[in-house]
Structure 1
Amino acid sequence: MMDSGIAGASALIRQAKEIFHQDPAALAVVHELEGRLEGPLRIAVAGMVKAGKSTLLNAIIGEEIAPTDAGECTRIVTWYRYGHTPRITLHPIIGEPRALPVTRDYGRLVFSLGGVRAEDVERLVVDWPAASLRELTLIDTPGIASLSQDVSGRSMQFLLPEDAPMAADAVIYLMRHLHASDVRFLESFKDTAAGQSGTVNALAVLSRADEIGAGRIDSLISAAVIADRYSRDQNLRPLALGVVPVAGLLAQSSRTMRQTDFEAMGLLAQMDRNQRERLMLSADLFSRAAGPAGLSQEAKASLVERFGLFGIRLGVALIRGGISNPTELAHELARRSGLGQLLDNIASLFQTRADALKARAAVVGLEALLRGSPKDVAMQLEASLERLQAGAHEFRELKLLTSLRTGGLILAPELSAEAEQLVGGRGNTLPLRLGLDPGATPEQISEAARNCLNRWRLIAENPLTEPAALDACRVVLRSCEGMLAALPAAHSVG
């Protein structure tokens, strides 16, 4: 909406390059921060062991390129970024980066470390020509709370650096249920240097949501009810911007659907209903039992591995309901998996404020660099840093959002909810900020923004408004003014 944060951070980077031009180590840090500021938004996918991180990452990318087995590579932090040609680069803890072979097996990318032990690898970087990676760099992390302290420690070190910005700008955190360990991790994440940047930048995903209803066709409905309850949980709400239920396996397989998958579901759809239901009492029975004609045990085993019983039931129901081609079925399965809602949340909560999140990371990185620099050097940049943090409205919005979610402000509940929405806590587009439909006209947006501006002006001027809440009112007023300024001049005058 406004660009003072990104412009200010860029100016700080230029100033830092001049100050540290004779310090190669510090200059390397500044160049890394500059590249981060100019590159795509970085989102890490995190969660406990077997939460379904790699499967969900494949669903977001739209290709099966992240290994989902329990092999060596799932123990390594792996970056997926856009590249014109496929390339895999291994970055060892000691030594120079090396290229790994790019091979595929039945469409899936296969990783071979070439004899290098996983514990000796700092990270893998996969460059891939997927359109979804043009605006996002995704980072797959090993499972937290792994039986291996080395694996778990590697994730924690990456996600929770002690005195530096986290390498990702935001986190998608997967959980199968809301456990105390999930809350503890998100609290730790918020307490890092990155978390102290003054924003809640985690989105929770209730992964493997189809398992909540034991694979029944209405499983996602049950999962949505639970996700809504979690999103209002007093322990989780200050730590995550929302909770989205996703059937990860179905999301991945719907994005990579094959003609043979569609044909197999078509044969199942033609079976007698009672016979089909008996066949689908369990995954093992489904794979081993005979029938229907024309569908081998190997084909059924592949189908259940790729879609799960929930996905098969849903696919069959949709075909029986009239869907007649694999493209249409794939789109509908992806939508019903919860993937669409997740992608919408990523776009509205993270991508639309990518500049602000990247600018905050640059500021946190420069602050960490200055803490280790001689005082006379640090002083040259500290004043500029302080001015930017005090003046950049995006940073003030992010800080207010955190205060609102942690209950640190004295505002009536309905005002707190409205303030959170107006500063972008439920999405950063103008309609989302104003609680309007996505297709709202400029006239409707202008009227809503002007009404909000007038209402919050009255709140700020009310002598009964607590002094502690006045700063929040000023931030909300500035956000309303910014929304009006973002509209075409013809619609912003009342």
Structure 2
Amino acid sequence: MILERNNGHFDAADNDDVVCFHDLLYGSLPSPTPQESRDMLDVTMSADGSEPSPLPRPGPAERLTALCDAAAARLTDPALRRRVGQIRDRLGAPLKIAVAGAVSSGKSTLVNALLGLPVAPVDAGECTRLVTQYEYGDDDGRVEAECEDGRVVVTRLLPGHRMPPDLGVPPERVRRLRVRLALDTLRAITVIDTPGMNTVTAENEQAARRMLFGTDGDDDRAQALIYVLRYVQRFDDATLAEFRSLTDACGMSCVNTLAVLTQIDRRGDEEDPWPTARRLAARAYEDLRTSVFDVVPVIGLLAETARTPALGPEELEALTALAGLDDDDLDFLLLDLDDIPGPPESPIPAELTRRLVARLHRYGLRVAVAAVREGEEALRRTLLEKSGFGSAASAGTVAAGLAHFARRAEQLKALTAITQLRRLALEDATGADRAALDVLAAELDETRPIAAGLSGLRIFAAVEAVGRGQLVLPGDMQAELFRMARTDDPAGQLGLPPGTPARDVAEAARAATERWRAQAMIDRGRVGGQRARDVLRVLEDLAVPAPPATAGPGADVHGISPVDVPVDVPGDAVGRLLASPLVPAADKEALRRLLSGGGPTALVGAGPAAAPADVAALAAALSGRFRSLGQLLTSVLDRRAAQSVCDAFALIAVHARHIAQGDSPHAGHH
């Protein structure tokens, strides 16, 4: 193994083409200390100075926070500094999730289910007339009406967390309501209830769109969206298509939009509405899959009733009385929900039955009557289960959609902040402010670490490109892409059953990389090619299985000798890549293994017990990763360095493959 090293370590400062992150941010401010330089490059030295060791890589939100601080320090215009400060503050705030949809689609009912409180008004008709933001606050029940003239009028919720009928100011003068609730859920998310998007009042539609899309003077927008629809119709598809076309302006796309199909229990006289509901949701997803990451069915009324104190002692007693009826009598009672009989046909007053129907409707009332015999706790548990609200672990549910948002909260907030900062960087400015905004724009370029750090959104970027017609795929690859977007499980992403061994997952991923590498070459130089490379990089990560368990130190049990592979990688080439902020941490770790020497198993991160075929597979996957990395690097010297490492791992793969096939490797093979 021949590796050139410089007194045991690499001095990143000697590489002229390495652009220091600090310099880009601070320009003419004092130069960083040596320690600061190393920190910015994500590399520091061990105690004896002999080997680089990784530091925790900051996430995109942390990098953006530092970028905002640096930009604010250089800007002289107070208005620009204020806007940068607002963007920075929102990076540390809870994720904002807006609930939108048509009038009477069940938005407010779903909001109440999300909050676990009956705070959003759900009367029939256009009841949500204002954008209402539910956020965490120790002063539980405080309501702030933000007026168009800048005033804030404070009132409180009524007992039982009900919205007061009088806000102290005419609704037409209110720009937004803020409701403070002492709910732990709201420490992580802020829920926004919006007016109907097809409302008869133009001002309401404008308010909803302002909350979702923002305006020139208001960037305090939602970062994720739950779009509620009763059934898929042209209006909903057109609205989601508009979201797709406005991605650059508002950040809404298939990565941060969940569609919820509500009121699925009112589609017919089926005793069990769920088989039909799941078919409808699957059909809706086929129509909307380039605009949303999933379509999930839910009975919002049951979810709200189960998660809020909607059923009091009187309602529970009434359910118990109805449970004493036989099935035929209960069917007769619920035959016409607009004309419900009272005694003697019913054991409870007609008005009380109407209240139960309002809380549960026909299907829910049947479920509740059957479950109430087992007690109140069993009743609520059954209602929640039958509502389809689900849990984070149950795929295809509202709860699973919220878990999707939670896993990507930092990236979604960063995505919104990048959109806002890019718009800010285009503002008219002169002198030092123009220079500061130019630096800001440069740091937000797709090739820089901040945007590149949103790697978790690569699959969704490719899906969006399909929707825009920028990435044209054959049917099997399109199905493969949408499958990858719908689950985080590697086996599921590759169409394999749950529990598939890691080695089989890696093998399927390697087969898929060939298809996506060819697609990237076909679309090379276009947006589609970049998106195909995004998918390729994800698959290359999946193609590297976990290293097999080691057999302890000692000889390579499969006969791959430490001196069999004369790999020649110049030390300065590896040093350049270790110093580059564009190289992911996992790839830097692979570089350090390459520096460590030893046999091929050690060079690729496998244990001594690894079979030669596994070593070959790992080496081939690493070779592909550095080939893809070379296409992303901006410096010619960095690209050459990545190619050298790519060739080194390819040579190891060839060597190990010959061993696996029973050949005796020699110079001719190399």
Global fold match (TM > 0.5):
yes
Write the distance in 2 (CA, Å) between the matches of 1:273 and 1:204: 36
Any residues of structure 2 matched to 1:7-406 within 5 Å, and which? 7-20=62-75, 22-69=76-123, 74-86=128-140, 87-104=142-159, 107-161=160-214, 167-192=221-246, 193-195=248-250, 199-213=254-268, 216-233=270-287, 236-256=288-308, 257-286=311-340, 288=342, 290-293=344-347, 295-319=348-372, 324-340=374-390, 341-374=396-429, 375-386=434-445, 387-388=448-449, 391-392=452-453, 393-406=455-468
Equivalent residue pairs, number = 477
Indicate if the aligned counterparts of 2:250 and 2:419 stay in contact, CA closer than 8 A.
no
2:397 partner SS: helix
Indicate if the aligned counterparts of 1:446 and 1:484 stay in contact, CA closer than 8 A.
no
Indicate if the aligned counterparts of 2:145 and 2:167 stay in contact, CA closer than 8 A.
no
Indicate if the aligned counterparts of 1:58 and 1:66 stay in contact, CA closer than 8 A.
yes
CA apart distance, 1:303 = 1.0
Indicate if the aligned counterparts of 1:287 and 1:304 stay in contact, CA closer than 8 A.
no
CA apart distance, 1:260 = 3.9
Which deviates further from its counterpart, 301-310 or 472-481?
Answer: 472-481
Runs of 5+ consecutive residues of structure 1 not aligned to the other structure? none
Structure with greater contact order relative to length (CA < 8 Å, sep ≥ 6): 1
Indicate if the aligned counterparts of 2:97 and 2:225 stay in contact, CA closer than 8 A.
yes
Write the distance in 2 (CA, Å) between the matches of 1:434 and 1:9: 33
Q: Which amino acid aligns with 1:355?
A: E
Do the aligned partners of residues 489 and 362 (structure 1) sit closer, same or farther apart at CA in structure 2, a change above 3 Å counting?
Answer: farther
Write the distance in 1 (CA, Å) between the matches of 2:426 and 2:364: 52
CA apart distance, 1:195 = 4.8
Write the distance in 2 (CA, Å) between the matches of 1:429 and 1:128: 35
CA apart distance, 1:197 = 7.2
Which deviates further from its counterpart, 404-413 or 309-318?
Answer: 404-413
CA deviation string 1:399-420 (max 9, x = no partner): 2231244553243322233234
Write the distance in 1 (CA, Å) between the matches of 2:490 and 2:207: 39
Write the distance in 1 (CA, Å) between the matches of 2:154 and 2:193: 19
Indicate if the aligned counterparts of 1:345 and 1:427 stay in contact, CA closer than 8 A.
no
Write the distance in 2 (CA, Å) between the matches of 1:292 and 1:335: 28
Write the distance in 1 (CA, Å) between the matches of 2:346 and 2:267: 28
CA deviation string 1:134-180 (max 9, x = no partner): 32211000112211112222212322335676711111111122222
Do the aligned partners of residues 303 and 490 (structure 1) sit closer, same or farther apart at CA in structure 2, a change above 3 Å counting?
Answer: farther
1:173 partner SS: strand
CA apart distance, 1:487 = 7.3
Indicate if the aligned counterparts of 1:89 and 1:97 stay in contact, CA closer than 8 A.
yes
Q: TM-score, normalised by structure 1?
A: 0.86
Greater fraction of residues in helix: 1
Q: 1:408: which partner in 2?
A: 470
Indicate if the aligned counterparts of 1:227 and 1:243 stay in contact, CA closer than 8 A.
yes
Write the distance in 1 (CA, Å) between the matches of 2:196 and 2:290: 23
1:240 partner SS: coil
Which deviates further from its counterpart, 275-284 or 448-457?
Answer: 448-457
CA deviation string 1:156-213 (max 9, x = no partner): 2322335676711111111122222212221222222345677542211112221112
Indicate if the aligned counterparts of 1:349 and 1:426 stay in contact, CA closer than 8 A.
no
CA apart distance, 1:470 = 5.1
Write the distance in 1 (CA, Å) between the matches of 2:145 and 2:193: 14
The alignment yields a C-alpha RMSD, in angstroms, of 3.2
CA deviation string 1:102-145 (max 9, x = no partner): 322xx342324443011111111112122332322110001122
Do the aligned partners of residues 97 and 461 (structure 1) sit closer, same or farther apart at CA in structure 2, a change above 3 Å counting?
Answer: closer
Larger CA Rg, structure 1 vs 2: 2
Do the aligned partners of residues 73 and 194 (structure 1) sit closer, same or farther apart at CA in structure 2, a change above 3 Å counting?
Answer: same
Do the aligned partners of residues 231 and 85 (structure 1) sit closer, same or farther apart at CA in structure 2, a change above 3 Å counting?
Answer: same
Q: Which amino acid aligns with 1:241?
A: F
CA apart distance, 1:332 = 1.6
Q: Which amino acid aligns with 2:263?
A: R
Q: TM-score, normalised by structure 2?
A: 0.65
Write the distance in 2 (CA, Å) between the matches of 1:219 and 1:415: 33
CA apart distance, 1:421 = 3.6
